[in-house]
């Protein structure tokens, strides 16, 4: 019998608030160690937490975006354990009553769509960082991150492959950045995943799971799950039992390594935090947040497909991030709706490739959407061939010329679409290449392409390719 | 001057009969002379105190209508963070800890122009009823230095009783203002939970802790509470209510007052001398026009066990921050991280604190939480409901504050349960979040003071102060002072 994997993810999304979840200190990344840690963050005696409403608004936003229930009353609890970068000796989190429960996300792997159910999402504070380098056998503590608001998003064990897990993580990443509650920066740890993985024979009851902690790239997520699945299958096939454990992924060795087993798991002694009142969310607050929600990716995908006749694949690609979608929509607005398909091709093709090559993304495109729209318009009215359009694109990218028309003018790139002029060019080429003409007439199609090439060369690349094709065929036939 | 009420001191300052510097000097000199035998203060700083007094004298606040306490000295329980002052909470753990900020309460008194004389001794982390758990040694009861002053605000009670300060701050988690007030012959008020900000008050049991005034009279307490109370956005459990003048009803006659007497507070366990003094006080109230109503608090017998689940549970978590990593005591030698934690905490905390951390950790542990913590929370609600029902037939509840007068050092310290029972009448009030007071109502065995407890409904402080004040107009227990002191 074959094996199947059962995977659930827990994702920590750092919320984009100005200040921390329980203090007024700033949350910006990269400050000097301990410069963004106030009395509350370093847990001086006597300090008390005060909940940041902005963090709650982020949680409500998320709940609405995934169709979850927003709890009218949820409870903050203390999760007690000792660690040097956990200043209070407990983390304020939510345990029994989380702010968000249920809902889910649609993911797509190849042609297959799947709905991944969410168990819950709860608010909590991040810990600080222990710094082991540069301290010569000692440990440095940086509490800048302590108290940063997190939303921990937990799925049901709905996924059965690393591909599904990655598709879910990407869809979630896209959603939290789309609705603006997380900056999505995985390198800085703003979005990190823990994967619970178990394997079983198809149809058998659930196996024992191991949790892979702190995966901060989609690549690691994929590799770690793949490794873990295979490792668990091997263990069982060799007659060993899987022990519940927390493991770490080592990207250098490409292996997971156990951190702690179930026996030495912490007893966190959760109890309601007596310093904080229950979090009450009135329907009016939910309505207010709802009104501030942007169009969600699923809805926008459907709209783009129906408005512009885009394929589901194209619509999904264009709505992969809100920045991409915004860019596309701005481009269409400037180029005209009738040119939406061309806009889509350029955004997904030339522009995406260029951004990739230069390690940029749609958040900061050097080429304004109106400039790309200018190119699209000149393609539509036959002023530019695709080849010339790419030249204009390169020029505008390099900052040359104020728009497409200026570049066309300055470089003399206007496409030759005058039949008379093209015919004259063709006649000259046919006269100069009798051998190719003969070969074509003998049935060699390659010869035709060679002749087209000659005509284009004679035109300095500016002749309208379709016209060249048509006229050449007519001449050769005649 | 050392026996003057706050109102009298305020008037003397306003009429320039004295100055803040003169008053501060008077009390600082007494502290210097008497504190070695009483051990009420753990930290004094003459220069700092006099500097504050000079600021007060120059500020224009003295004699101003909205700052009636300006220029008057007071002392803070060492549980309140006091910027620039060592703040120890009675523990070795914080023996070198200089507070970098002011508690809200401290800040409010500072803004009011009051002068800080020093920091007052207390049971370690407010855990104790006799002041014997302080790392800085026990406080002596000024009425008899062989006896305890009560706790945990024992330093506050002894200091005011010995006239080392006109007034002091205290905190009350299970009786820590009322019981020492009773044992030292003072008036002390624990307000409704949420009336006084807990910001900067080192947490023992967050859902029970409440700061309050300790002074010679109800009138003094009312004036102090006017400054202490108020909504604080830095404390999420602070209540957002309009400011009130707690002295507004002081003079109201008590005709028609209904005093509830829970039979649970008058059963076995109370010493005869305490009973006699309390009953004499009730007789006085009848003369003032009050009627007595019998009420029931059927679950009050469960308050001590429920308290000793909830308070240690919260404490075990609240005290986790004292780990030797960022501040406080760190063991000089350790092998690794776990060793650093256990040695630092083993050395920094005393026996009673460790006992409560152990109890609290146990009751919150997986598999025990439901049986202990959740169960105790249910009992807590029942106790609160009992009071709500009782207040349907009475305006306030009265009874003894403590079952006996001040006991001798060592009498109860060997038996934690006996010690815990010292708070049998006060603990239910904290569990229900109600305001509670203790006022002096006579003397018992060995001529030691006895306290009468007054418990009001939520936000009943002004009424309770009125009830206490009218009694103090016709009795003089509250102005008696310990003999044998200069």
Give the DSSP letter of residue B213: E
C-alpha–C-alpha distance, residues B439 and B429, integer Å: 16
Alpha-carbon gap: A3 to the closest alpha carbon of chain B (Å): 35
Q: Quick count: other Cβ atoms within 10 Å of Cβ B228?
A: 24
Residues from chain B contacting residue A48 (CB–CB below 8 Å): 198-199, 234-237
pLDDT averaged over every residue in chain A: 92
**pLDDT reading at B249 higher than 90:** yes
Token digits for A266?
């912490």
Contact A45 B326 (CB under 8 A): no
C-alpha–C-alpha distance, residues B29 and B163, integer Å: 11
Preferred mutation among B122, B320, B341, B377 to probe A, highest tally of A CBs within 10 A? B320
Q: Per residue in B308-317, pLDDT tens? A: 999 999 999 9
Give residue A28's Cα distance to chain centre. 21
With an 8 Å Cβ cutoff, is B335 touching chain A? no
> How much is the pLDDT for A212?
97
Q: Which of A13, A6, A8 is CA-nearest to residue A65?
A: A13
Token digits for A351?
């522009």
Q: Is B201 strand, coil or helix?
A: strand
Map tokens 């904080």 to a residue: A276
Q: Per residue in B322-350, pLDDT tens? A: 999 999 999 999 999 999 999 999 999 99
Residues from chain A contacting residue B80 (CB–CB below 8 Å): 46
Map tokens 């292996």 to a residue: A255
Preferred mutation among B233, B235, B325 to probe A, highest tally of A CBs within 10 A? B325
Residue ranges of chain A whose CB lies within 8 Å of a chain B CB? 39, 42-51, 78, 80, 82, 84, 87-90, 141, 267, 269-271, 274-277
Q: Which of A6, A389, A418 is CA-nearest to residue A232?
A: A6
Are the CB atoms for B214 and B186 separated by under 8 Å?
yes
Residues from chain A contacting residue B206 (CB–CB below 8 Å): 274-275
Q: Which residue has the higher pLDDT, B233 or A431?
A: B233
**pLDDT reading at B486 higher than 70:** no
> Which of the listed CATH numbers 1.10.357.10, 3.40.50.300, 3.30.390.50, 1.10.10.410 matches domain A419-477?
1.10.10.410
Torsions phi, psi of B458, nearest 5? -50, 135
Give the DSSP letter of residue B92: G
Contact A88 B233 (CB under 8 A): no
Stated as kind and residue range, the H or E segment containing A376 is helix A369-380
C-alpha–C-alpha distance, residues A21 and A14, integer Å: 11
With an 8 Å Cβ cutoff, is B89 touching chain A? yes
Map tokens 């229900």 to a residue: B432
pLDDT averaged over every residue in chain B: 97
Are the CB atoms for A150 and A133 separated by under 8 Å?
no
Pairing of strands B210-215, B258-262: unpaired
Cis peptide bond N-terminal to B152, omega within 30: yes
**pLDDT reading at A478 higher than 80:** no
Torsions phi, psi of A250, nearest 5? -105, 105
Residues from chain B contacting residue A80 (CB–CB below 8 Å): 316-317, 320, 364
Chain A with chain B: Cβ pairs closer than 8 A:
96
Q: Which of A362, A314, A366, A367 is CA-nearest to residue A342?
A: A314
Torsions phi, psi of A140, nearest 5? -95, 150
Residues from chain B contacting residue A271 (CB–CB below 8 Å): 313, 317, 364, 369, 373
* DSSP H stretches of helix in B425-460: 427-432
Active site residue B176: yes
Active site residue B152: yes
Contact B317 A90 (CB under 8 A): yes
Contact A39 B323 (CB under 8 A): no
| ipTM greater than cut 0.85 | yes
Alpha-carbon gap: A280 to the closest alpha carbon of chain B (Å): 13
Give the DSSP letter of residue A159: B
Is B16 exposed, middle or buried, given 0-12, 13-18 or 19+ CB atoms closer than 10 A? exposed
Alpha-carbon gap: B165 to the closest alpha carbon of chain A (Å): 24
C-alpha–C-alpha distance, residues B413 and A114, integer Å: 67
Q: Per residue in A29-67, pLDDT tens? A: 888 999 999 999 999 999 999 999 999 999 999 999 999
With an 8 Å Cβ cutoff, is B326 touching chain A? yes
Counting Cα atoms < 13 Å in the Cβ hemisphere of A445 gives: 0
Q: Per residue in A338-384, pLDDT tens? A: 999 999 999 999 999 999 999 888 888 989 999 999 999 999 988 88
What pLDDT band is residue A420 in, cutting at 50, 70 and 90? Answer: confident
Q: Which residue has the higher pLDDT, A74 or A460?
A: A74
Active site residue B217: no
Contact B321 A87 (CB under 8 A): yes
**pLDDT reading at A1 higher than 80:** no
Are the CB atoms for B105 and B77 separated by under 8 Å?
no
Q: Per residue in A140-196, pLDDT tens? A: 999 999 999 999 999 999 999 999 999 999 999 999 999 999 999 999 999 999 999
Residues from chain B contacting residue A39 (CB–CB below 8 Å): 100-101
* Greatest extent of chain A over all pairs of C-alpha atoms, in Å: 97
Residues from chain A contacting residue B313 (CB–CB below 8 Å): 271
Q: Per residue in A242-263, pLDDT tens? A: 999 999 999 999 999 988 776 6
Q: Per residue in B151-200, pLDDT tens? A: 999 999 999 999 999 999 999 999 999 999 999 999 999 999 999 999 99
Give residue A137's Cα distance to chain centre. 39
Residue of B nearest to A270 (CA): B364
Are the CB atoms for B166 and B481 separated by under 8 Å?
no
Sorted by where each starts, the structural domains of chain B and their CATH numbers stand as 6-252 (3.90.1300.10), 302-378 (no CATH)
Contact A39 B97 (CB under 8 A): no
With an 8 Å Cβ cutoff, is B325 touching chain A? yes
Contact B202 A46 (CB under 8 A): yes
C-alpha–C-alpha distance, residues A326 and A324, integer Å: 5
Domain boundary assignment for chain A: 3-285, 295-411, 419-477
C-alpha–C-alpha distance, residues B55 and B21, integer Å: 9
C-alpha–C-alpha distance, residues B130 and B248, integer Å: 34
Is B338 exposed, middle or buried, given 0-12, 13-18 or 19+ CB atoms closer than 10 A? exposed
**pLDDT reading at A470 higher than 80:** yes
What pLDDT band is residue A118 in, cutting at 50, 70 and 90? Answer: very high
Give the DSSP letter of residue B99: P
What pLDDT band is residue A414 in, cutting at 50, 70 and 90? Answer: confident
Helix axes B303-318, B375-390, angle to 10 degrees: 130
**pLDDT reading at A454 higher than 90:** no
> How much is the pLDDT for B420?
87
C-alpha–C-alpha distance, residues B281 and B290, integer Å: 11
Nearest CB to A80; choose among B97, B203, B317: B317
Residues from chain A contacting residue B364 (CB–CB below 8 Å): 80, 269-271
Are the CB atoms for A111 and A155 separated by under 8 Å?
no
DSSP assignment of B14-60 equals HTTSS-HHHHHHHHHHHHHHHHHHH--EEEE-HHHHHHHHHHHHHHS
Contact B236 A277 (CB under 8 A): yes
Token digits for A216?
């901060």
**pLDDT reading at B211 higher than 90:** yes
With an 8 Å Cβ cutoff, is B346 touching chain A? no
Q: Which of A39, A94, A50 is CA-nearest to residue B238?
A: A50
Q: Which of B219, B225, B259, B246 is CA-nearest to residue B470?
A: B219
Contact B361 A269 (CB under 8 A): yes
> How much is the pLDDT for A364?
84
Token digits for B260?
């509830």
DSSP assignment of B293-318 equals EEE--TTGGGHHHHHHHHHHHHHHHH
> How much is the pLDDT for B387?
98
Torsions phi, psi of A311, nearest 5? -70, 160
DSSP assignment of A245-310 equals EEEEEETTTTEEEEEEESTT------EE-TTS--EE--HHHHHHHHHHPPPPHHHHHHHHHHHH--
* Annotated active-site residue in B4, B129, B152, B438: B152
C-alpha–C-alpha distance, residues B198 and A189, integer Å: 35
With an 8 Å Cβ cutoff, is B234 touching chain A? yes
Over its C-alpha atoms, chain B yields an Rg (Å, rounded) of 21
What pLDDT band is residue B290 in, cutting at 50, 70 and 90? Answer: very high
Token digits for B247?
């002295």
Preferred mutation among B97, B323, B370, B375 to probe A, highest tally of A CBs within 10 A? B323
Give the DSSP letter of residue B410: T
Q: Quick count: other Cβ atoms within 10 Å of Cβ B417?
A: 9
What is the 3-state secondary structure of chain A? Answer: CCEEEEEEEEEEEECCCCECCCCCCECCCCCCCCCCCCCCCCCCCCCCCCCCHHHHHHHHHHHHHCCCEECCEECEEEEECCCCCCCCCEEEEECCCCCEECCEEEEEECCEEEEEEEEEEEEEECCCEEECCCCCCCCEEECCCCCCEEEEEEECCCECCHHHHHHHHHHHHHHHHHCCCCCCCCCCCCEEEEEEEEEEECCCCCCCCEEEEEECCHHHHHHHHHHHHHHHHHHHHCCCCCCCEEEEEECCCCEEEEEEECCCCCCCCCEECCCCCCEECCHHHHHHHHHHCCCCHHHHHHHHHHHHCCCHHHHHHHCCCHHHHHHHHHHHHHHCHHHHHHHHHHHHHHHHHHHHHCCCCHHHCCCCHHHHHHHHHHHHCCCCCHHHHHHHHHHHHCCCCCCHHHHHHHHCCCCECCHHHHHHHHHHHHHHCHHHHHHHHCCCHHHHHHHHHHHHHHCCCCECHHHHHHHHHHHHHC
Alpha-carbon gap: B273 to the closest alpha carbon of chain A (Å): 39
**pLDDT reading at A388 higher than 90:** no
Residues from chain A contacting residue B234 (CB–CB below 8 Å): 48, 50
Q: Which of A140, A177, A150 is CA-nearest to residue A20?
A: A150
Q: Quick count: other Cβ atoms within 10 Å of Cβ B483?
A: 9
The sign one gets for the Cα dihedral A134, A137, A139, A140 is negative
> How much is the pLDDT for A137?
80
> How much is the pLDDT for A79?
97
C-alpha–C-alpha distance, residues A109 and A97, integer Å: 33
With an 8 Å Cβ cutoff, is B111 touching chain A? no
Alpha-carbon gap: A50 to the closest alpha carbon of chain B (Å): 6
Residues from chain A contacting residue B316 (CB–CB below 8 Å): 80, 269
Contact B81 A46 (CB under 8 A): yes
> How much is the pLDDT for A263?
64
């Amino acid at each position: 019998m074959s094996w199947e994997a059962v995977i659930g993810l827990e994702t920590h999304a750092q919320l984009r608030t100005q200040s921390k979840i329980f203090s007024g200190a700033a949350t910006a990344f990269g400050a000097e160690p301990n410069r963004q840690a106030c009395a509350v963050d370093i847990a001086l005696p006597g300090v008390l937490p005060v909940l940041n409403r902005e963090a709650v608004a982020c949680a409500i936003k998320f709940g609405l975006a995934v169709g979850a229930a927003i709890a009218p009353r949820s409870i903050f609890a203390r999760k007690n354990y000792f660690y040097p970068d956990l200043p209070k000796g407990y983390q304020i989190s939510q345990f029994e009553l989380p702010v968000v429960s249920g809902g889910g996300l649609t993911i797509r792997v190849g042609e297959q769509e799947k709905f991944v159910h969410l168990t819950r999402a709860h608010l909590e504070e991040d810990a600080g960082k222990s710094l082991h380098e540069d301290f010569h056998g000692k440990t440095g503590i940086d509490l800048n991150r302590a108290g940063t608001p997190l939303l921990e998003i937990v799925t049901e064990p709905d996924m059965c492959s690393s591909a599904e897990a990655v598709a879910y993580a990407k869809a979630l990443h896209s959603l939290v950045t789309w609705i603006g509650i997380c900056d999505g920066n995985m390198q800085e740890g703003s979005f990190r995943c823990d994967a619970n993985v178990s394997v079983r024979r198809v149809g058998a009851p659930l196996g024992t799971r191991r949790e892979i902690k702190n995966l901060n790239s989609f690549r690691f997520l994929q590799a770690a799950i793949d490794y873990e699945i295979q490792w668990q299958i091997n263990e069982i096939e060799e007659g060993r039992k899987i022990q519940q454990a927390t493991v770490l992924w080592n990207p250098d060795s490409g292996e997971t390594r156990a951190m702690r087993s179930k026996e030495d798991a912490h007893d966190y002694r959760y109890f309601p935090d007596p310093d904080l009142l229950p979090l009450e969310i009135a329907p009016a607050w939910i309505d207010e947040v709802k009104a501030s929600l942007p169009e969600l990716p699923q809805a926008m995908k459907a709209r783009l497909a129906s408005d512009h006749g885009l394929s589901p694949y194209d619509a999904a690609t264009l709505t992969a991030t809100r920045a991409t979608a915004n860019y596309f929509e701005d481009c269409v607005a400037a180029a005209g709706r009738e040119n939406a398909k061309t806009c889509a091709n350029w955004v997904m093709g030339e522009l995406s490739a260029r951004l990739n090559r230069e390690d940029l993304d749609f958040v900061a495109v050097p080429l304004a959407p109106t400039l790309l729209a200018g190119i699209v318009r000149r393609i539509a009215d036959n002023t530019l061939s695709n080849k010339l359009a790419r030249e204009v694109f390169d020029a505008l990218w390099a900052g040359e010329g104020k728009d497409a028309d200026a570049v066309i003018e300055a470089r003399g790139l206007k496409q030759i679409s005058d039949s008379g002029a093209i015919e004259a060019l063709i006649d000259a080429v046919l006269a100069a290449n009798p051998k190719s003409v003969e070969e074509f007439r003998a049935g060699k199609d390659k010869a035709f392409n060679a002749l087209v090439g000659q005509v284009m060369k004679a035109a300095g690349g500016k002749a309208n390719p379709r016209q060249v094709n048509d006229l050449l065929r007519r001449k050769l036939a005649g | 001057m050392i026996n003057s009420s706050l109102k009298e001191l305020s008037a003397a300052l306003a009429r320039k009969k004295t100055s803040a510097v003169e008053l501060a000097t008077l009390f600082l000199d007494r502290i210097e002379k008497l504190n070695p035998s009483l051990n009420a203060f753990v930290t004094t700083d003459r220069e700092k105190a006099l500097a504050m007094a000079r600021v007060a004298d120059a500020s224009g606040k003295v004699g101003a209508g909205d700052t009636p306490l300006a220029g008057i000295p007071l002392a803070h329980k060492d549980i309140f963070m006091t910027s620039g002052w060592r703040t120890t909470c009675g523990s070795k753990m914080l023996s070198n800890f200089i507070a970098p900020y002011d508690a809200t309460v401290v800040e409010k008194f500072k803004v009011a122009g009051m002068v800080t004389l020093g920091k007052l001794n207390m049971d370690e982390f407010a855990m104790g009823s006799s002041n014997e758990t302080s790392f800085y040694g026990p406080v002596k009861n000024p009425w008899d230095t062989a006896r305890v002053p009560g706790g945990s605000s024992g330093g506050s009670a002894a200091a005011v009783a010995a006239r080392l300060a006109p007034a002091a701050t205290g905190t009350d988690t299970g009786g820590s203002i009322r019981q020492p007030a009773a044992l030292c012959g003072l008036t002390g008020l624990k307000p409704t939970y949420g009336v006084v900000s807990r910001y900067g008050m080192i947490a023992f049991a967050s859902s029970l802790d409440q700061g309050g005034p300790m002074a010679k009279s109800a009138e003094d307490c009312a004036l102090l509470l006017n400054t202490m109370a108020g909504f604080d956005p830095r404390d999420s459990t602070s209540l957002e209510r309009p400011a009130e003048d707690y002295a507004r009803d002081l003079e109201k006659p008590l005709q028609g007052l209904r005093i509830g007497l829970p039979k649970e507070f008058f059963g076995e366990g109370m010493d005869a001398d305490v009973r006699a003094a309390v009953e004499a006080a009730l007789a006085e109230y009848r003369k003032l026009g009050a009627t007595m109503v019998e009420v029931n608090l059927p679950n009050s017998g469960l308050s001590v066990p429920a308290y000793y689940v909830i308070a240690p549970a919260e404490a075990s978590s609240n005290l986790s921050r004292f780990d030797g990593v960022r501040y406080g005591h760190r063991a000089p030698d350790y092998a690794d991280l776990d060793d650093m934690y256990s040695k630092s905490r083993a050395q920094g905390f005393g026996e009673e604190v460790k006992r409560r951390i152990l109890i609290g950790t146990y009751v919150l542990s997986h598999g025990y939480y439901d049986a202990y913590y959740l169960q105790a929370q249910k009992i807590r609600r029942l106790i609160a409901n009992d009071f709500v029902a009782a207040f349907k037939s009475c305006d306030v509840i009265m009874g003894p504050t403590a079952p006996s007068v001040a006991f001798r050092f060592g009498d109860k310290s060997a038996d934690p349960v006996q010690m815990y029972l010292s708070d049998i009448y006060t603990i239910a009030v904290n569990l229900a979040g109600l305001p509670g007071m203790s006022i002096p109502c006579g003397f018992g065995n060995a001529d030691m003071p006895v306290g009468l407890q007054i418990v009001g409904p939520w936000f009943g402080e002004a009424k309770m102060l009125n009830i206490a004040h009218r009694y103090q107009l016709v009795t003089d227990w509250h102005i008696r002072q310990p003999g044998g002191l200069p």
